[in-house]
């Protein structure tokens, strides 16, 4: 049995879609109504990282896990790893972040991901770490602006990020969950090239066939925008992460998607073309 956590989220949802239909799969969610229509071979376990009993139930009979946690600074990983050890789980494939390998990154999100990685390595359960660069899907946050003709804005908008398609992360995750030989490996996952927010905006404009204005955001406005969406420690971490990107720390391209899956990583243009209707393309 494979347990997919974060199964209603960006990456986990794609992992569930890709797992072979002949193996038993269970998904963990707090809100089963959000899971949508699940295939017949998929079991739904209702659970919350904050409730150990629900994790014990979800982990019964599970041998492999795709682990996604999102509570920055929290102790969800501790609780989950204890329950997984007690349930005799053999392998945990954890969604982490590329920033953990950057010695210059010392923000709250990266410190939390490093701590979670260390806990997993010391847990006694076999592990594989997936360390993606920024998700291409983060640009979906621009969709309401673009649909209503307002400018897209970003902090350090001409700095480069080798962002990755969540479908490629999921493809790698499925390989690591279903093949032997990925235990003890840490995979940094990027797209095929580094692109800036301004270039992503231009790409969307070309695909949509209409202008999409782009504006540089100054740090004070960026802080205010982050604080409207996130708690302060996360907002400050995102600002520090943007400074790392400004200084060139997020531009390196890795070949890991190709090495693990046997085909090249998808470009931002491919991701954008496949999600264009979410930007108000008029295509149903
Ligand atoms: N976005 C990026 O650019 C980026 C880059 C690198 C790394 N990451 C890392 O990727 C991870 C987030 O992945 P994602 O974007 O795929 O997820 P997401 O779309 O943010 O969704 C979060 C998932 O976590 C589940 N979840 C949250 N709290 C939970 C709880 N208390 N108990 C059980 N499940 C819980 C949610 O399930 P329910 O709501 O259904 O319960 C949901 O499926 C984070 O660790 C982040 O640091 C993100």
- Digit-coded pLDDT (tens) for 93-151: 999 999 999 999 999 999 999 999 999 999 999 999 999 999 999 999 999 999 999 99
Nearest CA owner, ligand 1 atom 24 = 6
What is the predicted pLDDT for the residue at 128? 98
Residue 282 pLDDT exceeds 70: no
Å from CA of 209 to ligand 1 middle: 33
Give 43-52's long-range contacts (Cβ < 8 A, gap of 24+).
45/3, 49/74, 49/76, 49/79, 49/80, 50/76, 50/79, 52/79, 52/82, 52/83
Q: DSSP 3-state assignment of 66?
A: strand
Rounded average pLDDT over 9-22: 95
Nearest CA owner, ligand 1 atom 21 = 9
Tokens 């990685």, residue?
A: 117
End-to-end CA distance of the chain: 37
- Which of the following CATH numbers is that of domain 2-132+166-190+255-262: 3.40.630.10, 3.50.50.60, 3.10.580.10, 3.40.50.720? 3.40.50.720
Pocket of ligand 1 (CB under 6 A): 5-12, 28-31, 34, 48-50, 68-70, 95, 97, 132, 134-135, 138
pLDDT bin (cut points 50, 70, 90) of residue 18 is very high
Angle of the 232-246 helix axis to the 108-121 helix axis, nearest 10: 100
**Contact of 55 with 79, CB cutoff 8 Å:** yes
Tokens 């590329």, residue?
A: 98
- pLDDT tens digits, 224-280: 999 999 999 999 999 999 999 999 999 999 999 999 999 999 999 999 999 999 998
Nearest CA owner, ligand 1 atom 1 = 135
């Amino acid at each position: 049995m494979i347990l997919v956590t974060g199964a209603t989220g960006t990456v986990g949802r794609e992992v569930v879609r890709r797992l072979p239909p002949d193996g038993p799969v269970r998904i963990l969610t707090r809100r089963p109504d959000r899971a949508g229509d699940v295939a017949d071979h998929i079991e739904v376990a209702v659970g919350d990282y904050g409730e150990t009993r629900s994790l014990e139930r979800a982990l019964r009979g599970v041998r492999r896990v795709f682990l996604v946690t999102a509570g920055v600074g929290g102790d969800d990983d501790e609780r989950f790893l204890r329950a997984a050890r007690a349930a005799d789980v053999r392998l945990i494939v954890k969604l982490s972040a590329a920033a953990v390998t950057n010695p210059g990154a010392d923000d709250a999100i990266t410190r939390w991901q490093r701590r979670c990685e260390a806990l997993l390595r010391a847990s006694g359960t076999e592990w594989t770490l997936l360390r993606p660069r920024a998700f291409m899907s983060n640009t979906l946050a621009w969709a309401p602006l673009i649909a209503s003709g307002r400018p897209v804005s970003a902090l350090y908008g001409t700095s480069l990020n080798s962002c990755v398609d969540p479908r490629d992360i999921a493809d790698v995750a499925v390989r690591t969950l279903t093949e032997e030989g990925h235990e003890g490996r840490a995979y940094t996952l990027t797209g095929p090239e580094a692109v800036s927010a301004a270039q992503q905006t231009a790409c969307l404009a070309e695909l949509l066939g209409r202008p999409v204005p782009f504006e540089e955001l100054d740090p004070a406005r960026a802080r205010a925008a982050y604080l409207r969406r996130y708690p302060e420690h996360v907002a400050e971490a995102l600002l520090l992460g943007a400074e790392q990107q400004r200084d060139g720390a997020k531009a390196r391209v890795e070949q890991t998607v190709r090495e693990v899956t046997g085909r090249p990583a998808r470009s931002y243009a491919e991701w954008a073309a496949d999600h264009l209707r979410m930007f108000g393309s008029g295509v149903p």
